[in-house]
């Protein structure tokens, strides 16, 4: 087992403070330096629209101002890092999604409005705007974790259960959303039964022998911490191997590659800042960061 050295951590810190967006620099300070949450909340508010959703480039692959579900997922993730999602923000997100998705509660990653702005080619040239289980489950999981009650959340929960119960195959992105939903949904017995039933299917789409280069989805993309519901799907050796790969992927400048398809230099740089924080969070959760790092504080 290798361990991220203090020098490696400092290199990641320097990379983030040189290259990441302001909001991600503030996240780094909060997550690893005991920094306050208020600057993150203020920065995130600038990405919020009047409809309750988020846009304005919060997702580096969506440069337009209009709210999009994919950007709203990132907002929920950032809010979740700070503690329970404030009810007024959670309700605003639900209100936005109620008008953005299908009548049965499902939502697509992006809406047709994406065609009127600058965006990654896979979004800009999308032709299918139907609801998808992966993103709907991801959003709904975060709402359950913070106990955000809303009619849309209830409809989305029913949508997720309906599709999870009949799932015959999956893909890595969908699996991440499904596991997030099952991690936090209220019905724990049903969630455990579902993850047990889906375990073989999920393992089949995850690379348990990850390479140090190229686009891969490792066990750690699902089991982001040892307490995650997806952790029992993988052996100790598979988790340790993935952690080793994460460490070897750190570049000499301290950052991690985005691993997304490159389409715009700015988007790539912003993704790299986000990915560096994500990798460090996972490595710390599994005890791979040498030395003491303060845990994030939960102030307002």
What are the DSSP calls for 80-120, one per residue?
HHTSSPPHHHHHHHHHHHHHHS-TTS---SS-GGGGGS-B-
8-state DSSP, 289: B
> What residues make up the domain containing 109?
6-285
Query: What pTM was computed for the model?
Result: 0.94
Q: Is 210's pLDDT higher than 80?
A: no
Q: Is 2's pLDDT higher than 60?
A: no
Residue 292 lies in a domain: no
Residue 298 lies in a domain: no
Contact of 30 with 277, CB cutoff 8 Å:
no
- For 118-123, which contacts have Cβ atoms below 8 Å and span 24 or more sequence positions? 118/63, 118/64, 119/61, 119/62, 119/63, 119/64, 120/61, 120/62, 120/261, 120/263, 120/264, 120/267, 121/263, 122/61, 122/261, 123/61, 123/62, 123/70
Q: Which of 3-12, 166-175, 260-269 has the lowest mean pLDDT?
A: 3-12
| Confidence label for 215 from pLDDT (cuts 50, 70 and 90) | low
pLDDT digits (tens, 9 = 90+) for 7-29: 889 999 999 999 999 999 999 99
pLDDT digits (tens, 9 = 90+) for 46-101: 999 999 999 999 999 999 999 999 999 999 999 999 999 999 999 999 999 999 99
Residue 48 lies in a domain: yes
Q: Is 270's pLDDT higher than 90?
A: yes
8-state DSSP, 79: H
Residue 291 lies in a domain: no
Residue 297 lies in a domain: no
| Confidence label for 213 from pLDDT (cuts 50, 70 and 90) | low
Q: Is 211's pLDDT higher than 90?
A: no
pLDDT at residue 203 in the model: 96
pLDDT at residue 298 in the model: 67
- CATH, residue 144: 1.50.10
**How many Cα atoms occupy the beta-carbon half-sphere of 126 within 13 Å?**
21
Residue 300 lies in a domain: no
Residue 237 lies in a domain: yes
Quick one: CA dihedral 160, 148, 273, 235, positive or negative? negative
Q: How far is CA 61 from CA 29, 123, 159, in A?
A: 24, 8, 27
The structural domain count of the chain equals: 1
Q: What is the average pLDDT across 237-257?
A: 94
- The Cα 77–Cα 186 span in angstroms is 19
Q: Which of 26-30, 121-125, 136-140, 213-217 has the lowest mean pLDDT?
A: 213-217
| Confidence label for 159 from pLDDT (cuts 50, 70 and 90) | very high
- The Cα 205–Cα 182 span in angstroms is 18
The rounded mean pLDDT for the chain is 93
Residue 295 lies in a domain: no
Contact of 283 with 277, CB cutoff 8 Å:
no
């Amino acid at each position: 087992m290798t361990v991220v050295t203090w020098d490696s951590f400092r290199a990641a810190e320097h990379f983030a403070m040189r290259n990441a967006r302001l909001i991600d620099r503030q996240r780094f300070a909060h997550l690893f330096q005991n920094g306050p949450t208020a600057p993150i909340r203020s920065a995130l508010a600038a990405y919020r629209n009047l409809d309750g959703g988020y846009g304005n480039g919060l997702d580096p692959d969506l440069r337009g101002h209009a709210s999009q579900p994919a950007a709203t997922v990132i907002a929920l993730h950032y809010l979740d890092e700070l503690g329970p999602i404030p009810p007024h923000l959670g309700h605003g997100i639900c209100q936005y999604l109620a008008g953005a998705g299908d009548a049965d509660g499902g939502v697509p990653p992006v809406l047709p409005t994406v065609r009127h702005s600058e965006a990654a080619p896979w979004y800009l040239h999308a032709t299918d705007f139907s609801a998808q289980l992966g993103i709907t489950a991801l959003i709904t999981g975060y709402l359950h974790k913070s106990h955000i009650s809303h009619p849309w959340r209830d409809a989305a929960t029913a949508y997720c259960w309906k599709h999870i119960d009949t799932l015959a195959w999956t893909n890595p992105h969908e699996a991440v959303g499904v596991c997030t939903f099952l991690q936090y949904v209220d019905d724990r017995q049903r969630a455990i039964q579902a993850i047990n039933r889906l375990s073989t299917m999920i393992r089949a789409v995850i690379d348990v022998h990850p390479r140090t280069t190229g686009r891969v989805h490792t066990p750690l993309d699902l089991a982001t911490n040892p307490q995650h519901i997806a952790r029992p799907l993988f052996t100790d050796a598979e988790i340790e191997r993935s952690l080793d790969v994460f460490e070897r992927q750190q570049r000499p400048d301290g950052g991690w590659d985005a691993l997304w398809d490159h389409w715009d230099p700015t988007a790539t740089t912003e993704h790299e800042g986000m990915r560096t924080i994500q990798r460090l969070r996972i490595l710390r959760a599994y005890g791979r960061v040498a030395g003491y790092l303060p845990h994030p504080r939960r102030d307002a």
